[in-house]
Amino acid sequence: MRVQFDLTHPAHVHLFKNAIRTLVSEGHNVAVTARNKEVTTDLLDAYGIDHTVLSTKGTTTAGLVAEWSLREVRTLRYMRKFDPDVVVSRALPSAVHAAALTGTTSVVVTDTEYTWKIAKLIAPFVSYWCTSEHFSREFGSNHRRFKGFDELAYLHPNRFAPEADRLRQQGVNPDEPYFVLRFVSMGAHHDVGRAGVSPAAKRRLVEALSEHGTVYISSERSLPADLEAYAVPTDPSDIHHLLAFARLCVGDSETMATEAALLGTPTIRVNSHADDQQLGVFVTLEDRGLVESIADENEAQNRAIELATAPDAHEQWADRRERLLDESIDLTEYLLEIIKEAAEDSTESERSRSVTESSEPVLASSDQPTSGQSPSDQPPSNHSASDQ
């Protein structure tokens, strides 16, 4: 089986790393195409996953348009050369379009309703849509739903166990109270018109929490000089160990808020759209008492102090996490089943095409085009994938 994974964000590396490792260990031919964005390639290197970089994140709107246009072309070229049975990705136009153009079965995993505009554009070309059961949109007959969360592909107890010694080796004392703040750039296409935590609120939050423990900041953007001392000291690949032992996680990141909650860490999600109830994942996590979504920065800060100083908060979150895990699946196992099913479908489709083509009548010599006919008048030839 030949499988291509297209990864354009650090979260994609975490999501698919265990499936990649399992497929490789089983002897399948796996290719990974990547994008230079934040620590995406650093994570792939840290996990020992071979990859090919197809583009670098544009720094302006025009730059992003140019980048994604180039990525469409490069992804198509790469896919024609590698000739996968299945391509696996998030809701990425470049991967899905290339799969459609090469006749490759596509598997798309998504949990973000904000990307519905892109989803609508690629929907006709996707072979398998995979979402959690709490995803609020419907993609039709090829839509598969699972019980759980995308992040349980790498944070399910079958896949991850927090290690305190990894933190100690990097200067973090897991036995002392500390808090993780996560701030994103809000530069994704689905963030247009939305805002994260303001610079002033970030400083106020750091100052207030510093009275109760150590503050570590994970940020997509470079930190200003007065906040550099708070930068996360651990390797990017160890961020989940840091989250697991934290007393609190606060930030405007959707992904890290979900990760912290699923690790049983008290979590506050704060951004301008925190209370819009559009993301099914947070509707569920809020209902289960694992995330508190607050749009007002001052209110979020006050609640953060309450949780940071509550002696039983971490225990409460741990209990709620256990109850949720009892109802959730190991997503990596599920993805492997879907990928193998998709590969079988691809093989069956190829066999059907071969049978159909072999049964077509062969032209007699008198039926061959004369010099007055153009090549386009001839019956289409049976090209291999490398010829397409």
Query: Could you state, in order of their start, the residue ranges of all structural domains in the chain?
Result: 2-156+330-347, 164-325
Of the given ranges (4-13, 46-55, 308-317, 363-372), which has the lowest mean pLDDT? 363-372
Assigned CATH topology for domain 2-156+330-347: Rossmann fold (3.40.50)
User: What global pTM score does this model have?
Assistant: 0.85
CATH of 164-325, one of 3.10.20.740, 3.40.30.10, 2.60.40.10, 3.40.50.2000: 3.40.50.2000
Section 14-22 average pLDDT: 98
| Per-residue confidence (pLDDT) for residue 374, from 0 to 100 | 35
pLDDT in tens, 260-296: 999 999 999 998 778 878 899 999 999 999 999 999 9
Residue 349 has pLDDT above 70, yes or no: no
Residue 56 has pLDDT above 70, yes or no: yes
Tokens describing residue 140:
């039709």
Q: C-alpha angle with apex 162: 255 to 282, nearest 5 degrees?
A: 25
Tokens describing residue 24:
């490789």
Section 177-197 average pLDDT: 71
Of the given ranges (15-19, 94-98, 181-185), which has the lowest mean pLDDT? 181-185
Section 17-45 average pLDDT: 96
Q: How far apart are CA 239 and CA 244, in angstroms?
A: 9
Give 117's pLDDT tier (boundaries 50, 70, 90).
confident
Residue 224: CA atoms inside 13 Å, Cβ hemisphere, count?
8
Same fold, 2-156+330-347 and 164-325: yes
User: Going by DSSP bridges, is the β-strand pair 2-7/105-109 parallel, antiparallel, or unpaired?
Assistant: unpaired
DSSP for 194-211, please give it.
-----HHHHHHHHHHHHT
Section 27-53 average pLDDT: 96
Q: For residue 111, count other CB atoms closer than 10 A to its CB.
A: 22
Mean of the per-residue pLDDT values for the chain?
88
| Per-residue confidence (pLDDT) for residue 183, from 0 to 100 | 94
| Per-residue confidence (pLDDT) for residue 175, from 0 to 100 | 97
